[in-house]
Amino acid sequence: MLFGRRLVLVGVLSVVALVSTGYAAADGRKGGEEDYAMSTEFRHQGIAYRIRVTDADLEAGPSWDPEDGSPVPLSVTNVCLISKAELRRYVEDPETFRIGDIHLTRFASTKYWIYKVNYRSKAEDVARYFAGVREVQTTFHIVVLLSGKCPPVERVGSSGP
């Protein structure tokens, strides 16, 4: 296995710098018949969700080495378009969300990268800003691979009271 079972965040490029909440990346873990290079969980409207990326997902796309001077294979503009289309699959009101931040993250010491796109509810973002609250609760997250594909967002269950 190319990546082992451990996700090491070597570099995070914050493309849009706003407060990021709800992402909890975990070491790859056994899930059924596959090992996951990354598993991340978040909550949206009281429901827990999970996104898992496998080694095969990463290997199916291009690699990239920023130190050789080449441009990233998937532009931020395309990531925004792809992630918005993916968001529409999971939320009833995608037009009420806006991108809060985008992170480009490398897997361990490999040349494989992913984008993590964090969406926030526009209404709650504004209300919390004026109330002086920095942490936004109504968020939804999408992962975009350099291949332009998105691993599925799986509903895990209720997050409690």
Instruction: Give Dmax over CA atoms of the chain in angstroms.
Output: 49
Rounded distance between C-alpha atoms, residue 52 and residue 154, angstroms: 9
**pLDDT at 122 > cutoff 90:** no
Identity at 57, one-letter amino acid code:
D
Q: Write out the E strands in the chain.
A: 9-14, 24-26, 30-31, 34-44, 47-54, 97-107, 113-121, 139-145, 153-158
Q: Is pLDDT larger for residue 65 or for residue 139? A: 65
Secondary structure (3-state) at 13: strand
Give the pTM. Answer: 0.73
Confidence (pLDDT) at 109: 79
Tell me the pLDDT tens digit for each residue of 55-106.
999 999 999 999 999 999 999 999 999 999 999 999 988 998 999 999 999 9
Tell me the pLDDT tens digit for each residue of 149-161.
999 999 997 655 4
Tell me the pLDDT tens digit for each residue of 15-31.
322 223 333 444 454 44
Secondary structure (3-state) at 71: coil
Sheet of 9-14, strands arranged across = 9-14, 97-107, 113-121, 139-145
